[in-house]
Amino acid sequence: MTQYLDRPGLPRLAYELRDGDGPTIVFLPGYGSDMAGSKAVALDAWAEAHGQAMLRLDYRGCGQSEGVFGEATLDDWRDDALDAIDHLTQGPLILVGSSMGGWLMLLIALERSTRVMGLVGVAAAPDFTEWGYDEAQRAALASDGLIVSNHPDYETPEITTRAFWESGQAKLLLDGEIPIDCPVRLLHGLDDSDVPPSIAFRLGRALRSADMQTMLVKGGEHRLSRPGDLGLLLTTVAALIESL
């Protein structure tokens, strides 16, 4: 059942919290996505069946949460997730980040290193403000403060604001060592046209963790939401929890 986290002076956040054994799984959606996506729902059903604690949430301006999407930055969405984690969970965590959520899971793991026991990235997209926009889009952001693009996976146009882009540029990770030591599993489709598989390799090299595995999915696209893709996600999370 959807509940709301009240925060004085900040938008209320919609969330669903499942009680169960730890570590608590925290699902972090991608850009413009929410906690009702197929990966989040499949993982929640698995958690219910196995008695595992899990938290899903919508960032401000997304899904059922309050706020305006176009006014939010990467920092805002990181802080939303941290607020939900700090107020709603206790003990060890497993972070599962999809696309932009994979960038957020890294930023959160750096902030809560004593609690985060493992990471699972699904088409993780760290630093996408750096490699995901061409020169024309960068020029439009600089001059107009906004770009609008159509994406085949979404019914409505996708917007990016200068404030969001600048917040991402201030949080780049891939060009240096990322001081995260917990186990990391990265799932990435070889046919991902949004996040090149090379990003998974760059991330794997940048992470300090010695327990890092990258799994490439032949025929897999960015969403990795086919039945086999979802099965791989569930078995990966289960195996990671079992190994702790």
Q: Which pLDDT does position 35 carry in this prediction?
A: 98
Beta strand segments in the chain, E: 3-7, 10-18, 21-28, 52-57, 93-98, 116-122, 146-149, 158-161, 184-189, 212-217
**Which structural domain, as residue segments, surrounds residue 156?**
3-243
Which residue among the candidates 58, 80, 127, 192 is catalytic per the annotation?
A: 192
| 50 assigned to active site | no
Number of domains the chain contains: 1
Which residue among the candidates 58, 79, 222, 229 is catalytic per the annotation?
A: 222
Q: How many residues appear in the chain?
A: 244
Q: Which pLDDT does position 157 carry in this prediction?
A: 82
pLDDT in tens, 40-61: 999 999 999 999 999 999 999 9
What value does the mean pLDDT of the chain take?
96
Q: Which pLDDT does position 119 carry in this prediction?
A: 98
Which residue among the candidates 65, 98, 99, 167 is catalytic per the annotation?
A: 99
**Which one, of 64, 62, 54, lies nearest residue 93 by Cα?**
54
Report mean pLDDT in 10-residue bins for the chain, 244 residues. 96 98 98 96 98 98 96 98 98 98 98 98 98 93 90 77 97 98 98 97 98 98 97 98 96
**Where residue 64 sits, what CATH number does that domain have?**
3.40.50.1820
| 192 assigned to active site | yes
| 222 assigned to active site | yes
pLDDT in tens, 187-234: 999 999 999 999 999 999 999 999 999 999 999 999 999 999 999 999
